[in-house]
Structure 1
Amino acid sequence: YTDIFTPQNYKDKNNNLLAPVLGSNLEAGIKSEFYAGQLMATFAVFNTKQDNYGVRDLTQPDYSLPDGSSAYKGIDGTESKGVEISLSGHINQGWLVNAGYTYVDTTRNKDDLIWTNLPEHSVKLSTHYQFSGALDKLNIGGGIKWQSEITGYSVSHPLISEGVTYEQDAYMLINLHANWRFNKSWNATLSATNVTDETYWANIDFANYGEPQNINFTVKWTY
């Protein structure tokens, strides 16, 4: 259990700083080892509550404060709850696998009229394999990240009865890498991120595209 006390830089319509965000974070879980420590599993549930959370005060014009910023107000009742599950272990001597799943349910105050939720479901899977024998200088790996759709909502003016709902569809990113160690000083790495060149918004609040397909080859010398 942790208390939340987060100062805010936002100002209200009277140009006064908002009071800090107050709340609590409660988490409970269990961690277990299996197969003589070869597999680690964790399960956790969490609940986060925040009051006086700063949101745009839509009764005030944009950029209405003396410093050119917009007015905010504090609202109560912002809450996130969910579960996290993770597995990590060796399938055999040189093969390591990590997997995780997260579920998040977010509840907001009805006065929070500009928001973007976290994805409700997200999955991560990564693996690393160290070869042996004649290929013992080579290791390879990769990872997959999948998340469900992200939903946001925005009302640009309090007189508008219906705001705009925006959405990022579910997507999956795939990353791969391979490393060859020639000796103690030299090694080479080939890596590829977003292998399928998925097009997605990294931040739908400001509509920033995520990183496209990227392939890098590096040679490194250490002494």
Structure 2
Amino acid sequence: MNITIDALLTGTVRPLGDSGRDSGIDKHPVAERLWLGPEGLSGDEQADRRFHGGPEKALHHYARDHYPAWLDALGERPVLRGPGAFGENISTSGVTESDVCVGDIYRVGTAVVQVSQARQPCWKLDHRFGHRGMAARVQASGMTGWYYRVLQTGWLATGDALSLQDRPHPQWTLARVQDILNRRVLDPGVLHALANLSELSPNWRTLFEKRARAGEVEDWTRRLEGDAAATPPKESQA
């Protein structure tokens, strides 16, 4: 599997719409090649390092293949006119969550990266799109994008190909893992299998372990809605 990077994107921390918060979600294409270090691309910033960035979320990949579906669902939105709508660092066509598995290892440019987890969208997408409920909608759709950890640092550029080097867990596509997450599955066998999947990010392994132990699904309200009840995003149609 060889997939070409259509756009390599970075962003700086700046105010996020009418949220009253700062965010680095506003990413823009970069023409020059960039250094990929253990925690991400040079020049890329995240406002809240508790939940964004770091070794397990060094690089965010989003499939441009999903943009037509979002345009159909939401109508014309300025944010969907080019790559970067979802805060992605890598934009490609031809591969989605159904094609990518936990633990996949890719060589890209002079770097080597490994799929660590799917994205769990947060309330910032509501403000990014000016559409209340956007984060929950993205999660339910499974069209979330995914993250890589960096196994070997190196240079990346638009036009570089992601070349699959190893697939240790072909049974664990990101689409399947997200289906288990989103259907609020409580099957102990399935949850323990994911909790013991060493290539899955520690946060996700802990999530599935806690779900198995507690026999209940975690509360997503704060992550998906944030302060939306107090400060709803302004609807944006153009």
Higher strand share: 1
TM above 0.5, yes or no, is: no
Larger relative CO (CA 8 A, sep 6+): 1 or 2?
Answer: 2
Bigger radius of gyration: 1
Higher helix share: 2
What TM-score does the superposition give when structure 1 sets the normalisation length?
0.26
What TM-score does the superposition give when structure 2 sets the normalisation length?
0.25
